[in-house]
């Protein structure tokens, strides 16, 4: 069966690459070796990977691009873990140190709701003064103020920290948080799920095994999570392929991932790069961004079918192009975001819903505002968007989160 009639005489696409892409179009599972072959493609072969990912995206989720109206609330930038890829963390006594009260977090959640947000994403550093009840109190305060908002909160690292503070098993702690109103969890702190790479990034403070344990615990008590990767530093394609396979294996077991979000390493202000500029890459290349989203689509199809393109990491223009290279979601409008900005990101802190709609439509897709679990909130017809052209560069800086 020749699924590439236009390439049948194209000697620039090897038989091995063609065979892997045909498997993808048939919905067959790719292995780690297949993914490594695709990551190594260049030129016409690389374009064939992107084109195939676009076809698979259409097959799996249709010609729709989605976004969510959300607010990121980073409740503290104080963290004692010392991850070398992060420039967000401050010492407790630093003049720029922040630690919001639960009422301040609730204030921001209420403001987000009034501006149309359906979700708040709440994360923060591992502050030494966080007590065993702080995470619970955050959820209670937000739900008391805004009962109907979805709380997407606490990375696996924060859950690990909360378990340590409360001397609880993850299933117990997460069940308590869910009962209070936790709706879902960000699957961040994954970085690269490889021990040797994690030792260089975080001294393996949250091991691969611990990350997987907490994610599975969340899924087991009915708390869905996202899944992520942070790439473009000391990692290689074999690590990316193994990471994707591990996420796929978890999803086969639990079914608890809502999406996959590739996050490119932002190097500018990080110790990891500044201390080792000859050993650490300055983030992924644009080619690697495109291949990561495309190959993730091919490897994860049928298991994790929502692939998000992060405009915060790549910029709105590049993220929009990802919608025709495997991705189907542009993430959130955010309102505030501190972590990427602290590392040197230059793409602002907010885009507006009309910007999201314009960019999705510019990619030739139907724009849909979604909720956290990918249910449709509003579908936009072309004439409903007041923007006349993509507004990918119109970004509002809303202050420091």
Please report, in range form, the residues annotated as the binding site.
79, 83, 85-86, 155, 191, 310
Annotated binding site for (3R)-3-methyl-D-ornithine: 155, 310
Question: Tokens 């260049």 correspond to what residue?
Answer: 42
Collapsing DSSP to helix, strand or coil, 184 comes out as strand
Would you say the C-alpha torsion 57, 61, 63, 64 has a positive or negative sign?
Answer: negative
The b/e string for 318-331 (b: 16+ C-beta within 10 A; e otherwise) is bbbbbbbbbbbbbb
Gyration radius from the chain CA atoms: 21
Q: Could you tell me whether strands 376-380 and 366-370 are parallel, antiparallel, or unpaired per DSSP bridges? A: antiparallel
CA proximity to 160, closest of 127, 206, 107, 200: 206
CA-CA distances (angstroms) from residue 260 to 76, 188, 292, 337?
25, 10, 11, 19
What are 140's two structure tokens?
């209670």
Collapsing DSSP to helix, strand or coil, 145 comes out as helix
Annotated binding site for [4Fe-4S] cluster: 79, 83, 86
What are 338's two structure tokens?
């501190």
Collapsing DSSP to helix, strand or coil, 367 comes out as strand
Residue 374 buriedness (CB in 10 A; 0-12 / 13-18 / 19+): middle
| Lateral strand order in the sheet of 70-74 | 70-74, 119-123, 150-153, 182-184
- Residues facing 65 on adjacent strands: 367
CA distance 160 to 12: 49
Crossing angle of helices 32-39 and 15-25, rounded to 10°: 120
Crossing angle of helices 156-166 and 208-220, rounded to 10°: 80
What are 375's two structure tokens?
């249910």
- Residues facing 225 on adjacent strands: 185, 257
- CA geometry: angle at 113 spanning 111 and 119, to 5°? 120
Annotated binding site for S-adenosyl-L-methionine: 85, 191
- Residues facing 185 on adjacent strands: 225
């Amino acid at each position: 069966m020749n699924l590439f009639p236009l390439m049948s005489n194209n000697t620039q696409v090897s038989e091995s690459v063609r065979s892997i892409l045909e498997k993808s179009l048939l919905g067959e599972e790719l292995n780690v070796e297949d993914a490594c072959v695709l990551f190594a493609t260049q030129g016409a072969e690389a374009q064939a990977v992107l084109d195939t990912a676009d076809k698979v995206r259409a097959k799996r989720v249709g010609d729709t691009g989605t976004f969510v109206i959300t607010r990121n609330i980073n409740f503290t930038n104080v963290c004692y873990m010392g991850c070398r890829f992060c420039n967000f963390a401050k010492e407790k006594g630093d003049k720029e140190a922040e630690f919001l009260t639960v009422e301040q977090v609730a204030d921001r959640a209420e403001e987000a709701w009034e501006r149309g947000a359906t979700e708040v994403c709440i994360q923060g550093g591992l502050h030494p003064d966080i007590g065993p009840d702080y995470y619970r109190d955050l959820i209670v305060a937000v739900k008391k103020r805004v009962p109907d908002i979805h709380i997407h909160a606490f990375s696996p690292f924060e859950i690990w920290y909360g378990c340590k503070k409360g001397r609880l098993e993850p299933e117990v702690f997460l069940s308590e948080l869910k009962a209070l109103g936790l709706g879902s969890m960000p699957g961040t702190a994954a970085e690269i799920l490889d021990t040797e790479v994690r030792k260089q990034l975080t001294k393996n403070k949250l091991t691969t095994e611990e990350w997987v344990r907490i994610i599975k615990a969340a899924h087991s008590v009915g708390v869905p999570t996202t899944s992520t990767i942070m790439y473009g530093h000391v990692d290689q394609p074999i690590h990316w392929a193994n990471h994707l396979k591990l996420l796929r294996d978890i999803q086969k077991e639990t079914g608890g991932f809502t999406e996959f979000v590739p996050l490119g390493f932002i190097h500018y202000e990080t110790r990891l790069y500044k201390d080792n500029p000859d050993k650490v890459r300055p983030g992924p290349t644009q080619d690697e961004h495109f291949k990561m989203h495309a190959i993730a689509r091919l490897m994860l199809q049928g298991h994790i079918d929502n692939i998000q393109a992060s405009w915060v990491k790549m910029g709105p223009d590049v993220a929009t192009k990802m919608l025709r290279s495997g991705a189907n979601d542009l993430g959130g409008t955010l309102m505030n975001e501190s972590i990427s900005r602290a590392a040197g990101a230059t793409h602002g802190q907010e885009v507006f819903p009309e910007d999201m709609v314009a960019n999705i439509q510019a990619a030739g897709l139907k724009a849909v505002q979604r909720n956290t679990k990918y249910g449709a909130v509003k579908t936009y017809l072309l004439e409903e968007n007041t923007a006349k052209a993509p507004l990918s560069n119109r970004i509002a800086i809303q202050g420091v989160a």
